Structure 1
Amino acid sequence: MPIYLYWGEDEFAIAQAVAALRQRVLDSDWSSFNFDKISPDQPDAVLQGLNQAMTPPFGTGSRLVWLVNTTLCQRCPEDLLAEVERTLPAIPEHSVLLLTSSSKPDGRLKSTKLLQKHAQIQEFSVIPPWKTELLVKQVRQVAQVVGVKLTETATELLAESVGNDTRQLYSELEKLRLFAGDSKKPIDQGAIATLVTTSTQSAFQLGAAIRQGETAEALDLITALLRQNEPALRIVSSLISQFRRWTWVKTMVEAGERDEREIAKAAEIDNPKRLYFLKQEVQSLSLPTLLQTLSILLELDASLKRGADELATLQIKVIELCELCRL
């Protein structure tokens, strides 16, 4: 009795997961008989879905019943709850019930607790653009699914180029898969720079521009990010995260630490292999400079929280940071 709950705001990622589930459980010759997609505007959609899930499949393969954008984990009347409680444990082995929702399940509801007990729950939320480690991790995961081998530098550049746009990530990786052909060699950053369309300006790029002292580029990125309705406090949060990571790496290296796992742990880096590139990035910056950047960023964060003008405040502090990193 497989039951799945997919939730989150990343609609494309959910659509990919649903397509994979359909391919896995349905026999293509019988899919038109054994697949039910029930929208929330249909009368008694949840009851209809539960009844369909109890119906044995025709022919070979399993039956798949999909409750689209269900509100079962946001509100559930007592009479419906009784049906859910009675039906979930009794769903036949060859029926699959799939529920999808853009909203986070309300853990206080009894219906949610029932699904937590009987269902496999997977989150598909859009990764915040300032969480660069998670973006890089997502690129690795999707590249594995698509069947593309990337060097570590290429992985980071692709994450920087597409940001948290899952649809574009899949599209670019399909393009790279065709480009690679039968080659067993991992794709490098040169191919990424040539083939991948950079559609977003990211705080990841902004941090790199500041670190390199590129004032004009950093100011352009600030303007672009704000035009994309990126909250100023999120931009600053990303910068603090980046510069804190660089500061930890520099601190540990100058302290003589040689165990890369210890450095990665201190800098909160999931993949220790990234340390090589991080060490290169901070090579030209002194530890006092990095510590001073954190002080400036904390001042910037405090100013914005007190209601300072976002664009002007960001511009002033970014200029100050770029000048500091050029010294």
Structure 2
Amino acid sequence: MPIYIYWGEDDYAIERAVVTLRDRILDPLWTSFNYTSFPPEQSDAAIAALNQVMTPAFGAGGRLVWLMNTTLCQNCPENVLAELGRTLQVIPENSFLLLTSRNKPDERLKSTKLFKQLATEFREFPLIPPWKTELLVQAVNQAAQTVGVRLTPQSAAVLAEAVGNDTRLLYNEIEKLRLYAIEQNRPIEVDTITRLVRNTNQNSLQLAAAIRVGDTGKALTILADLINAAEPELRIVATLVGQFRTWLWVKLMVESGERNPGAIAQAAEVANPKRIYFLQQEVQSISLRQLISCLPLLLELEVSLKQGRAELSILQTKVIELCQVCRRN
């Protein structure tokens, strides 16, 4: 069935996938006739899109109908569900229906079940958690291969640290590197990454590291850099929670007598057991009690932000409290 469902928080990755699909389906000379997008603000978008996708394509190429940021997989009215049931299985072979959404489809809905049954592609575009460094490096290498940039393993790691899980920034920086190295026939080294890639904005993992050692001044400076770089507050907290949770599990397993890196990695949900050695070094100077005490503070911070309290002041307050906890003997 010519139906595509793209969803997830990585807006830029979805945009790239949509462009790829559009270029594959449409003939450039007939795009204005065969390409229609329906914004979520349009009240009858779903019904109008289904009617449009049933129209045969004009001229060469196919027809693409895009329901942008739709909620059909979260909340589908009965009349729309009935229309989906009548239409989806009889879409012309050369017409394609695309649905995109930031929100996860509700697996319990009849509309979601119908789309999963009939869709050619039902694909998630998640943001990589900032603390999953192996996946971030992998994403950097994939993007570099796509754009045609050669990186050394060290430069890929530095670039991953600089851009985090911001896919749009990643491709912008790699495109910059491609233009710089267009006449060079060798991989881009770390010093080039350092000079060219914007890394003035500290990342949330560096904030977690500063908190872990109780360096209040550095932690507040990194926090200010993150806020100035428009890093979402809840994303900062999510990174802190993930990192402190990982440290807690590693410390708990080590103090319980576990020495097998594979077992520790499995308990801490760390993909690469080789990373356990470095995590063990990081938690040597902090006690299990301190790590346990940090988690309620992080939970309070998350709840406060979701309740709409002043972001900067509550973040600064909790960062100071976390540093005080980690600095205790």
Fold equivalence (TM over 0.5):
yes
The AA in structure 2 aligned to 1:239 is: Q
The answer for the alignment partner of 1:124 in structure 2 is 125
1:236 touches 1:297 (CA, 8 Å); kept in 2?
no
Task: Find the aligned partners of 2:131 and 2:278 in 1 and give their Cα distance.
Answer: 21
After the TM superposition, which of the residue ranges 176-185 and 75-84 deviates more from structure 2?
Answer: 176-185
The answer for the alignment partner of 2:319 in structure 1 is 314
1:234 to 235, 238, 250: 238
Q: Does 1:75 align with 2:75?
A: yes
The answer for the alignment partner of 1:193 in structure 2 is 194
The AA in structure 2 aligned to 1:194 is: R
2:144 touches 2:174 (CA, 8 Å); kept in 1?
yes
The answer for the alignment partner of 1:156 in structure 2 is 157
Tell me the CA shift for residue 202 of structure 1: 1.8
Task: Find the aligned partners of 2:246 and 2:152 in 1 and give their Cα distance.
Answer: 21
Tell me the CA shift for residue 255 of structure 1: 8.7
Change (3 A) 1:78 1:188: same
The answer for the alignment partner of 2:40 in structure 1 is 40
Task: Find the aligned partners of 2:35 and 2:184 in 1 and give their Cα distance.
Answer: 38
Question: What stretches of structure 1 of length at least 5 have no aligned partner?
Answer: none
**3-state SS, counterpart of residue 139 of structure 1:** helix
Q: Does 1:300 align with 2:304?
A: no
Following superposition of structure 1 onto structure 2, how do residues 27-106 of structure 1 map, counting pairs within 5 Å?
Answer: 27-42=27-42, 44-106=44-106
**3-state SS, counterpart of residue 28 of structure 2:** coil
Task: Find the aligned partners of 2:152 and 2:199 in 1 and give their Cα distance.
Answer: 18
* Superposition TM-score, scaled by structure 2 size: 0.77
**3-state SS, counterpart of residue 29 of structure 1:** helix
1:126 touches 1:164 (CA, 8 Å); kept in 2?
yes
Task: Find the aligned partners of 1:44 and 1:304 in 2 and give their Cα distance.
Answer: 43
How many pairs were matched up? 313
1:148 touches 1:173 (CA, 8 Å); kept in 2?
yes
RMSD over aligned CA atoms reads: 3.7
2:251 touches 2:283 (CA, 8 Å); kept in 1?
no
The answer for the alignment partner of 2:310 in structure 1 is none
Task: Find the aligned partners of 2:118 and 2:28 in 1 and give their Cα distance.
Answer: 27
* Superposition TM-score, scaled by structure 1 size: 0.77
Tell me the CA shift for residue 98 of structure 1: 0.6
1:248 touches 1:266 (CA, 8 Å); kept in 2?
no
Tell me the CA shift for residue 170 of structure 1: 1.3
Change (3 A) 1:49 1:233: closer
Question: What stretches of structure 2 of length at least 5 have no aligned partner?
Answer: 305-313
Q: What is the identity percentage for the equivalent residue pairs of Structure 1 and Structure 2? A: 46
Task: Find the aligned partners of 2:267 and 2:6 in 1 and give their Cα distance.
Answer: 33
Tell me the CA shift for residue 17 of structure 1: 1.3
Q: Deviations over 1:160-198 (max 9, x none)?
A: 222232221111111112222254533232222111112
Following superposition of structure 1 onto structure 2, how do residues 13-24 of structure 1 map, counting pairs within 5 Å?
Answer: 13-24=13-24
The AA in structure 2 aligned to 1:240 is: F
Task: Find the aligned partners of 2:190 and 2:216 in 1 and give their Cα distance.
Answer: 25
**3-state SS, counterpart of residue 233 of structure 2:** coil
After the TM superposition, which of the residue ranges 204-213 and 82-91 deviates more from structure 2?
Answer: 204-213
**3-state SS, counterpart of residue 29 of structure 2:** coil
